[in-house]
Amino acid sequence: MIEEEEEEFDFVVLTDEEGREHQFEVLDVMEVEGQTYAILAEPGEDAEAFALRLDEDEQGQQVLREIEDDAEWERVEKAWRESLEEAEFPED
C-alpha cells in the first residue's frame, strides 16, 4: 500500500514500502467505471505516467493504491489514452 502524504493536485509525495519519499506530478484525476484514479509521473519531460487507485483506508483517509488487476489496469490505461486524444484533438 502506498499512502498519500499531501493532498494537493499539482504534486504529491508518496512513501514507498521502505519508507523513502518520492515526489510525483499529478497529471490528472479521473473516474473510470465509478472508481477514481490519479495519473502520476515523476517530474521531468521524459517521465512515464502511471495510475494509482484512490481509495479510503479504515480511518476514512484517502490513500493511493497500486492497481493489481490486469483488466482494471487496461480499462484505466484506455480511458487515459482516450483523454489524451480528446485533449490533443478536441471535437468542435
Cell digits for 15? 512513501
Mean predicted lDDT score pLDDT of the chain = 85
How many domains, the chain? 1
- Which structural domain range is residue 11 located in? 3-88
pTM of this structure: 0.77
Distances 87 to 8, 63, 70, 84, 92 between C-alpha atoms, Å: 22, 28, 26, 5, 12
Convert the pLDDT of each residue in 30-63 to its tens digit: 999 999 999 999 887 777 889 999 999 999 998 8
